[in-house]
Amino acid sequence: MKLLEGKTALVTGASRGIGRAISLKLAENGCNVAFTDLAVNEQAIIVEGELKAFGVKAKAYASDASKFQNSQDVVDEIVKDFGQIDILVNNAGITKDTLLMRMSEEQWDLVININLKSVFNLTKAVQKYMLKQRSGSIVNISSVVGVSGNAGQANYSASKAGIIGFTKSVAKEYGSRNIRCNAIAPGFIITEMTAKLPPDVVEAWQKEIPLQRGGTPEDVANAVLFFSSDLSSYVTGQVMLVCGGMHM
């Protein structure tokens, strides 16, 4: 039997990169997958097809995770379509990197709303269903810079550190209802976004990593699979760093 047979997951920001890899890993393990992005475009339809190829139910939804009512509405729609939500993966996120002295209020607000408020929005939206069924696993994608900070990323680091505090609080509130909440803090992961960096920058990053390489989206997806499944049934309120030893 597959690890997530009969379960349904909601993954935010899943049309590409880490979100796509997470969705594929869950589907490969028998999980039905609802996933969101700002628009159901050609890329989202491709991912939907890739997920269905595993023989599971899958559907893309257009939703802005940073908007409270939008999040409530899409979760209600998903429950109507799928019957339940057992796993929530809060993955949606952006960067607007610059030094604090140059950072605008708009750059701050945008990153906080999309990266941190979205986690509040979706968790609030799924809680009534998870509380009713007295089970659930919430996995929040933080970042190694949420643990260690990083120059030029005050907004991003703050949003990802906030996710860690939120995760631990939710784990304490919902533990008695058999709802678990954990966070994953990826390090330097090779995605479409990091592929645009100059080779010398990538090389400098990799030299700082004990495993001497960048991670893959699948490395993060494997950690999500662990937290989503009964393999981690006695694990909650934890932060797993998937960073090749960059931060110890």
Note the pLDDT tens digit of each residue in 24-52. Answer: 999 999 999 999 999 999 999 999 999 99
Note the pLDDT tens digit of each residue in 136-179. Answer: 999 999 999 999 999 999 999 999 999 999 999 999 999 999 99
Sequence-separated (6 or more) residues with CB below 8 Å from residue 66:
92, 113, 114, 117, 118, 121
Position 121 confidence tier, pLDDT thresholds 50, 70, 90: very high
Helix or strand run (H / E) with residue 214: none
Query: What's the CATH number for 8-188+222-242?
Result: 3.40.50.720
DSSP annotation of 114 reads: I
pTM of the prediction?
Answer: 0.96
Q: Where are the alpha helices (DSSP H) in 53-117?
A: 68-82, 105-111
Tell me what pLDDT residue 191 has.
87
129 catalytic, yes or no?
Answer: no
Q: How far is CA 110 from the centre of its chain?
A: 17
Tell me what pLDDT residue 204 has.
84
| Average pLDDT in the chain | 96
Mean pLDDT of all residues in 82-87: 98
Structure tokens at 150: 């990083």
Mean pLDDT of all residues in 101-108: 97
Note the pLDDT tens digit of each residue in 178-222. Answer: 999 999 999 999 987 777 778 888 888 888 899 999 999 999 999
Tell me what pLDDT residue 206 has.
87
Of 129, 156, 174, 234, the active-site residue reads: 156
Tell me what pLDDT residue 201 has.
80
Pairing assessment for the beta strands 32-37 and 58-62 based on DSSP bridges:
parallel
Q: What percent of the chain has pLDDT over 70?
A: 100
In angstroms, how far apart are the furthest CA atoms of the chain? Answer: 54
Domain extent listing, the chain? 8-188+222-242
Give the type of residue at 172: K
The 10 Å CB-count burial string (b at 16+, else e) for 46-60 is ebbeebeebebebbb
Q: 3-class secondary structure for 6-53?
A: CCEEEEECCCCHHHHHHHHHHHHCCCEEEEEECCCCHHHHHHHHHHHC
Contact 224, 183 (CB under 8 A): no
